[in-house]
Amino acid sequence: MWWTSRSTVDVASTDQPRGGNRHRLATIAVVGVLALAGCGGSDDEPAAATPDRSVEVTATEYAFAGDPGEIIAGDTINFVLVNAGQVDHSLQVLNADGRRLGETSRISPGGRADVTVTFDDAGPYRLICDIDDHLSRGQSAGLTVIDG
């Protein structure tokens, strides 16, 4: 087995004065830890949890369509935005206070993008597109998160 023979080599190298292999392995381990920490993102946007499920949302001019099903407080949803329109669209998820919980990138017609959001609290939420005047043209949809 590959891992077994590899670790055998490591053990052998600890008995040698050079120890070059050992040092390099330690460096790789540190880099690996940093890469994992980097997944946490910035302080103001908490790390996206593993989604409980996906919800496909279709964007057109100027509306969202889709069936979010029953979302319970604590659920983590991966919204997959499909642009079925003729112009660029995006998807933002806002809470009742208008705070943005997540957003997709701006996508071209025919494209798709996703965003993962955890709904900590029950209550009303909104999906909006904030490109140009799309929101004022009515591109928003309500979402109600229920108590678990």
Determine how many CB atoms are found less than 10 A away from the CB of residue 53.
11
Separation CA 71–CA 126 (nearest Å): 13
Q: Does 80 bind Cu ion (CB under 5 A)?
A: no
Q: Is residue 81 within 8 Å of 57, Cβ to Cβ?
A: yes
134 lies in the site for Cu ion, by CB under 5 A: yes
- Least distance in angstroms from the C-beta of 8 to Cu ion: 58
Residue whose Cβ sits closest to Cu ion:
129
Question: Which one of 15-23, 34-42, 109-117, 136-144 is the stretch in contact with Cu ion (CB under 5 A)?
Answer: 136-144
Pick from 55, 71, 117, 129: which binds Cu ion (CB under 5 A)?
A: 129
* Sheet hosting strand 63-65, strand order edge to edge: 63-65, 53-60, 76-83, 112-118
**Interface with Cu ion, residue 141, by CB under 5 A:** no
